[in-house]
């Protein structure tokens, strides 16, 4: 099979495409012929040596794909621990979902990681309830653009935050009514939008110094789920405010979770999301589709930032 491989020169941390043996499915796995695969920041970290795959998962990057089950032809999309950036991948059966007929493979490849990240951290970790207010940070990217839709479908009032006002305006086409420009006055914007109350939940894809503004946007007793560290790993936080305002900060990652847990998350997400994907209430946002043999170009595009939605490899 063809697959994304580590850089030949570690000083130039961009991937190359080469040949590897086809994967052999283990117990409980099925072989999928990959038609398209999404790209996430986790893959950038992996090829730079900072985010190795969990034990037992493929060394090939790629956390989501869409394709056909070998020997059956079923159209599927899959959440992966690794291996998606290849022409074939062995997938735990519990991490497969049917790909709705109205969606292309490229659209399907943009769903599993974004959708399951949103579901896990809004519903399971964030405990979001209908009628609550949620702030989605990094809202114009692949994760954020799906999370704002999912939060809306869960019955929440959604505030979307990002650094680019033009891209934030594009979210209105997804049903987002309230946007905030990320920056030092984000908490003030949120307070004004909520009549001084603050939000119940922050879906934090950014971390870094921005976390102080995100904590400031919470109501007393509010929750923040930390999912990404695009803004950096280390920051000074006033723990006195966390204590006195009874705030909750939850750290959350999806990739290292046990396969049985992932299967349960996939089942719950699919039951809620598949009907909405079929009728268009939920839709993946694809910024750019790049041929698989030009994978380095796709990785570079993600590294530059500024995409509205997902970058997808067409295989």
Res. 110: pLDDT tops 90: yes
Residue range 3-16, pLDDT digits in tens:
999 888 767 778 99
Residue 228's pLDDT band (cuts 50, 70, 90): confident
Fold that domain 126-251 belongs to in CATH: Quinone Oxidoreductase; Chain A, domain 1 (3.90.180)
Q: What's the predicted TM-score (pTM) here?
A: 0.94
CATH class for domain 2-112+283-314? Answer: alpha beta
Residue range 128-162, pLDDT digits in tens:
999 999 999 999 999 999 999 999 999 999 999 99
Going along the chain, which residue ranges are E strands? 2-5, 16-19, 29-38, 64-69, 75-79, 88-92, 96-98, 133-136, 157-162, 178-181, 199-204, 218-226, 248-251, 286-291, 310-314
Q: Hey, how many other C-beta atoms are within 10 angstroms of the C-beta on 49?
A: 11
One fold for both 2-112+283-314 and 126-251? yes
Residue 104's pLDDT band (cuts 50, 70, 90): very high
Tokens of 20: 């590897």
- Name the residue ranges covered by the structural domains of the chain: 2-112+283-314, 126-251
């Amino acid at each position: 099979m063809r697959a994304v491989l580590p850089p030949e020169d570690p000083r130039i941390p961009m991937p190359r495409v080469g040949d590897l043996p086809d994967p052999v499915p283990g117990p409980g796995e099925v072989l999928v012929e990959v038609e398209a695969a999404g790209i996430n920041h986790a893959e950038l970290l992996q090829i730079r040596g900072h985010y190795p795959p969990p034990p037992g998962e493929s060394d090939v990057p790629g956390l989501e794909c869409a394709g056909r089950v070998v020997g059956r032809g079923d159209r599927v999309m899959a959440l992966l621990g690794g291996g998606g950036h290849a022409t074939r991948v062995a997938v735990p059966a519990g991490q497969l979902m049917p790909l709705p007929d109205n969606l292309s493979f490229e659209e399907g490849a943009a769903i599993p990681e974004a959708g399951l990240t949103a579901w896990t951290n809004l519903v399971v970790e964030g405990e979001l309830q209908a009628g609550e207010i949620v702030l989605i940070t990094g809202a114009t990217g692949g994760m954020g653009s799906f999370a704002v839709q999912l939060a809306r479908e869960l019955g929440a009032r959604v505030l979307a935050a990002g650094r680019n006002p033009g891209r934030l305006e594009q979210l209105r086409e997804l049903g987002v009514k309230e946007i905030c420009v990320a920056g030092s006055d984000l908490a003030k914007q949120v307070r004004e939008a909520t009549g001084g109350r603050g939000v119940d939940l922050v879906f934090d894809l950014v971390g870094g110094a921005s976390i102080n503004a995100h904590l400031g946007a919470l109501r007393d007793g509010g929750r923040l789920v930390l999912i990404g560290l695009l803004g950096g790993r280390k920051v000074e936080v006033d723990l006195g405010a966390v204590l006195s305002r009874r705030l909750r900060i939850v750290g959350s990652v999806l990739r290292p979770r046990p396969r049985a847990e992932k299967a349960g998350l996939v089942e719950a997400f699919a039951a809620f999301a598949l009907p909405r994907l079929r009728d268009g209430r939920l839709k993946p946002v694809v910024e750019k589709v790049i041929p698989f043999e030009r994978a380095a170009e796709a990785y570079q595009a993600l590294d530059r930032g500024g995409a509205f939605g997902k970058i997808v490899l067409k295989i």
